[in-house]
Structure 1
């Protein structure tokens, strides 16, 4: 396998969404691993040193821009996800959003829906106050205990 083939393979793996590819030949072995959170990691065990040096300068994907932070969150209540699933801000794309930044909410107000295994679970507020920030994008996956909203209590 020559350098051009290796570079083509790296490009293919990065575009395909595959997490790991290993190729082993008689005197040559290469493993290409990718990770969505961090830039791609490449491991090669090669008999010829110049090929390994050629793999190093592959450009990494640019890091996402940081989200603007609220200066002091100590006086806000964080509403967290009670389950793993997909976060939705409305009941369907045609329906209005449950809440927006600045909206007043009360105990029992529906804030969002989290879909898990084709079950749509309405997430209700356990506090009264004003929505300061929505921490998750619509239709994004969420983990258990992941912060969803910041609320300024009444």
Structure 2
């Protein structure tokens, strides 16, 4: 079954594309997304294995050019925020493969690293599981963990940033 976040991402991608209808089926689970061409409205239906509708609701209307919401921050404030974020780290630890991200060696064990922990280049920071193989991921940089970008159990892509590190 797809997670709610994955369904939201699909809706956003369909809404931003020229696709009018999207159907997906896997292991008896069905997802149908349809977009009304003139109305700018996306209707989603998620059907479980027993073919009972789990969720069916209209997504928010797409804003016209004139109706775009005003930004909450000015461009100057936004660039200052970006500078402060980029100043907090100078390296990212990325996933070397597609798989499932795990912060700890086992569900009942403590995470490999927390925000604020110091790591060495050979320190194991997480595991990425791919095809039932658990691959230990090393920091490859000396420094302090500033931010953890992925939730435990989340699917990660090749090259996706996992951690932000301030090198020392």
Equivalence map 1:82-101=2 (5 Å): 82-101=96-115
Secondary structure, in 3 states, of the residue corresponding to 1:121?
A: strand
Name stretches of at least 5 consecutive residues in structure 1 with no aligned partner.
Answer: 1-15, 18-33, 45-51, 62-68
Preserved CA contact (<8 Å) 2:128 2:135:
yes
Name stretches of at least 5 consecutive residues in structure 2 with no aligned partner.
Answer: 16-32, 44-56, 61-81
Partner of 2:85: 72
Distance 1:60 1:111, change over 3 A: same
Partner of 1:27: none
TM-score, normalising length: structure 1: 0.60
Secondary structure, in 3 states, of the residue corresponding to 1:71?
A: helix
Distance 1:36 1:108, change over 3 A: same
- Alignment partner of 2:34 out of 17, 42, 59: 42
- Alignment partner of 1:121 out of 127, 135, 138: 135
Partner of 1:134: 148
Q: Which has the larger radius of gyration?
A: 1
Partner of 2:58: 59
Distance 1:59 1:149, change over 3 A: same
Two-structure CA RMSD over aligned residues (Å): 3.2
**Structure (1 or 2) with the greater helix fraction:** 2
**Residues paired across the two proteins, number:** 110
TM-score, normalising length: structure 2: 0.55
Q: Take 1:107 and 1:81, find their aligned partners in 2: how far apart are those partners?
A: 15
Q: Take 1:130 and 1:72, find their aligned partners in 2: how far apart are those partners?
A: 15
Pairwise CA distance, 1:71: 3.1
Distance 1:60 1:131, change over 3 A: same
Once the two structures are superposed, what CA deviation does each residue of 1:72-101 show, in whole Å capped at 9, x if it has no partner? 325520111000000000011111100000
1:146 aligns to 2:138 (yes or no): no
